[in-house]
Amino acid sequence: MRIFNIPDKYRSSVISKIKAERKTDDPRGKDYSPSILDFGKVRFHIARHFGFCFGVENAIEIAYKAINENPTKRIFLLSEMIHNPTVNSELALHGVQFIQDTNGNNLIDWEELTSDDIVIIPAFGTTLEVENILNSVGINPYHYNTTCPFVEKVWNKSEELGNKGYTVVIHGKVNHEETRATFSHSKTNAPSIIIRDINEAKILSQIILGEISISNFNKHFAGKYSDGFDIEKDLQKIGVVNQTTMLASETEDISALLKTAITKKYGEENLQNHFANTRDTLCYATNNNQNATLQLMNTNADIAIVVGGYNSSNTSHIVELLEEKFITYFISDETKLHSKDSISHFLLSEKSVVSSKNYLPKKEIINIAITSGASCPDATVDKVIKRIISFF
């Protein structure tokens, strides 16, 4: 497996040893049971898979390569490198400027760029429209392109579907950088539509089956489909791809639901002519992290702690899973652990940071389930663990 050249401060002293030992015992990573760190008063149940994935380490390596190779030039990132505040703020400390926010709103006008500037494409990729702007300025958008290979795999599958006459159904968040990029690439090759969840998949299924009027289409999917989308024609042959950080199980459920609708309309014998098999677009890291989280839910933990950026999609889905069983605290780093009795954490339901008291149970031995998102450095998880230990 490739070893990436990323700053040592992102490496860990505790987590790296645990991961190395697990890799030795289970080189294929198929044992999803958590590791246990027992400190007597507090016991940590640590997810089998979490932290930087291949795509994230690749992106960080390329970003620092751009910084080191261009000491006299202005360096820009299209938007956040990954959804982690520590990584992005440290890139900013090296002089990197951000052209857009995470919603695609410009923080710096395109007119301010020159052909001497360096622009880094983030791990989420970018739209063809932005690539064209950079090319028109005289900036090569591919020189420091950190787009995750698994995102590009989705783009390639979308192109393949389009070439075979399929419409591409994208399971994703319409304002997320990755989904915007995937939609931009997909719509050049195929009619394309974005659906957020299983509820929107049910509506799309009902439209396919004629159970609700096609007049409802725009009500539910305005701004989420490609120009010239023909509802009657473009829903006859479909294939489902996803934003790689979505819940893999939800993508599979959406695919199964739409497959059932297509089967009902065209018959089992004609299914392969109307519904494409796209299981190979699911990201391995997202799958592993989510499967490890499901195993973490089998522990007897008193609480769960998830570490990562609050705008990180894959981290949010891990939080959603753990919240089904545990009181779960979503924190960005160890500084949110103020004391043994006070914590600041992000509530997904309210999209805001709140403070809670007495978050650690008053027990002789406290069991804590802990994991992080794919964009969170292991060193940050280390610091969270050490901070909690310091309270005892």
Active site positions, annotated: 178
The residues with which 109 forms a beta bridge, in sequence order, are none
Strands of 52-161, DSSP E: 75-77, 97-98, 118-120
Residues counted in the chain: 392
Strands of the chain, DSSP E: 35-38, 42-46, 75-77, 97-98, 118-120, 167-171, 192-195, 238-242, 303-307, 327-331, 342-347, 352-357, 366-372
Contact 134, 119 (CB under 8 A): yes
Contact 338, 347 (CB under 8 A): no
Residue 277 has φ and ψ, to the nearest 5°, of -85, 115
Residue closest to 368 by CA, chosen among 66, 109, 36, 72:
36
Amino acid at 3: I
**Which residue pairs from 346-349 have beta carbons closer than 8 angstroms and sit at least 24 positions apart in sequence?**
346/310, 348/316, 348/319, 348/320, 348/323
Residue closest to 258 by CA, chosen among 243, 248, 271:
271
The residues with which 46 forms a beta bridge, in sequence order, are 35, 370
Question: Three-state DSSP class for 109?
Answer: coil
Contact 208, 247 (CB under 8 A): no
